[in-house]
Structure 1
Amino acid sequence: MNFVQPIRDVEEIRAIRRYLREKSYRNYMLFVTGINSGLRISDILKLRVSDTKRPYFNLVEMKTEKLKRIEITPGLQREFKEYVVEMENHEYLFKSREGINKPIGRSMAYKILRDAASHVNLENIGTHTLRKTFGYHFYKQYKDVALLQRIFNHSEPRITLDYIGIHQDEMDSAMKNFKI
């Protein structure tokens, strides 16, 4: 199992957004939803158009089976308004081209993200990168590990900081500055 990293560099995020937007609106929206919601890919893929019609996501997390309510950012709300304009409420947001109204699978989401990552020469990228990217930038903006811990349903702040790569950043920085 590969250990995936958040995308720390905002310019790399912008480059991926541009690349995906040019290639596929659906794939762009998958990326934007992930980095702006902090949801796991399993929860993102089961979202329907109707889930975008209120100012929050209300769902039962597949992994934890816990009820989760998370506010949709204003920017993501604007993106959804444009994206779903010609879609029906019952449709999946990220429909597969196979079958009628089936969402893409985890493996397709992985392929989409790996393709975009290779375009900007990023390694250690997977579907969890979306959630970790959200967490990393949320933490950098608010410095509130307790709130992020609750958003992610983690049991301890240490787990959250490890998960989003903050401890890795600290170790990397210390090693760069270390000398004997």
Structure 2
Amino acid sequence: METVEAFKDRKQINAIKKYLKQHSERDFLLFVFGINTGQKISDILNVRVGDVIEKDGAVKDFCRIASTGREVYLNAKVKKAILHYVQLHQLCREDYLFQSSKSKKPITRQQAYRIIQQCARAVGVEGKIGTNSLRKTFGFHAYKRGVAISLLQKHFNHSTPSETLRFLGISKDEKIRTEIDVDL
């Protein structure tokens, strides 16, 4: 398997979000969900509407990932994108969140890869990009904002902190300007 890179530049992330918003609400949600939760693409694609939406129509604070049983926090940006998408397409609780346009099944990992590749190229992102770029983007920006590497190690189920740093594309010599902002 080829190693891919994180989207480290916020301008690139915003350009991709803008591009996807104009082209596909589902693909926009896929990108936003991926970069804000750091989950594996296979787990993301298996999320159903009922996993993220309460019976009263409110978006849940946490989404249980079926394959691991772990609960993943859904931040305000993810919640907004989910609510907009579900209401726009009038999805039922049993529907997959990232449903194929051809069937009731979720899109494939290969289709998700093509979506991420295509939007990255469309906005001029170069380098090795794939679905794992979403996961790495989450980790890179969390680390940059002051999240301890030990927490990210646990989140990614890695054995060592050095494995997590390597996964995120951060060398031990690289200086990352940490942005610890308690926003009181």
Structure 2 distance, partners of 1:121, 1:12, is 8
Distance 1:20 1:78, change over 3 A: same
Structure 1 distance, partners of 2:157, 2:74, is 18
Structure 2 distance, partners of 1:169, 1:56, is 35
Map of 1:59 onto structure 2: 65
Asked if structure 1 preserves the Cα contact closer than 8 Å seen for 2:153 and 2:161, the reply is: yes
Give the root-mean-square deviation of aligned CA atoms.
Answer: 1.6
Paired letter, 1:68: R
Shift of 1:143: 4.1
Map of 1:27 onto structure 2: 27
Q: For this pair of structures, how many residues does the alignment match?
A: 166
Structure 2 distance, partners of 1:115, 1:76, is 22
1:120 is aligned to 2:123: yes
Q: Which runs of 4+ in 1 moved over 3 A?
A: none
Map of 2:146 onto structure 1: 142
1:153 is aligned to 2:153: no
What whole-Å deviation, never above 9, does each CA across 1:96-120 have from its counterpart, x for those lacking one? Answer: 1222x10000110011011011112
Structure 1 distance, partners of 2:124, 2:101, is 28
Map of 1:41 onto structure 2: 41
1:105 is aligned to 2:108: yes
Structure 2 distance, partners of 1:60, 1:87, is 20
Q: 2:158 aligns to what SS in structure 1?
A: coil
Which runs of 5 or more residues in structure 2 are unaligned?
54-59, 176-184
Mean Cα deviation higher: 19-28 or 75-84: 75-84
Structure 2 distance, partners of 1:10, 1:169, is 22
Match of 2:97 among 85, 93, 96: 93
Structure 2 distance, partners of 1:119, 1:105, is 21
Asked if structure 1 preserves the Cα contact closer than 8 Å seen for 2:16 and 2:123, the reply is: yes
User: Which one has the bigger helix percentage?
Assistant: 1
Q: 2:171 aligns to what SS in structure 1?
A: helix
TM-score, normalised via structure 1 length:
0.87
Asked if structure 1 preserves the Cα contact closer than 8 Å seen for 2:29 and 2:78, the reply is: no
Q: 2:39 aligns to what SS in structure 1?
A: coil
Shift of 1:150: 1.2
Which runs of 5 or more residues in structure 1 are unaligned?
172-180
Map of 1:177 onto structure 2: none
Identical aligned residues as a percent: 40
What whole-Å deviation, never above 9, does each CA across 1:113-150 have from its counterpart, x for those lacking one? Answer: 11011112222000100000000001000241011111
Map of 1:175 onto structure 2: none
Structure 2 distance, partners of 1:11, 1:25, is 20
